[in-house]
Amino acid sequence: MSTESSCGLVVDLSGQVAIVTGASQGLGRSMAVELARSGAQVACVARNVDKLQETVAAIEAAGGQAKAIACDVQDRSGIDELVDGVNEDWGRLDIMVNNAGITRDTLLPRMSDDEWLDVINTNLTGTFYFSRAASRLMMRQRSGRIINISSVSGLIGNPGQTNYSASKAGMIGMTRSLSRELAGRKVTINAICPGFIESEMSQALGDTVLAEVRKRIPAKRLGTPEDVAACVLFLASSAASYITGQVLTVDGGMTG
To the query of whether residue 242 is one of the catalytic residues in this protein, the response is no
From the list 90, 164, 196, 234, the catalytic residue is 164
Kindly compute the dihedral angle of the four CA atoms of residues 116, 209, 52, 20, in this order, to the nearest 10 degrees: -70
CA distances from 82 to 22, 78, 139 (A): 14, 6, 18
CB within 8 Å of 235: residues ≥ 6 apart: 145, 147, 188, 190, 192, 243, 248
CB within 8 Å of 33: residues ≥ 6 apart: 6, 55, 58, 59, 62, 64, 229
* Distance of alpha carbon 15 from alpha carbon 29, whole angstroms: 20
Q: Which residues are catalytic?
A: 164
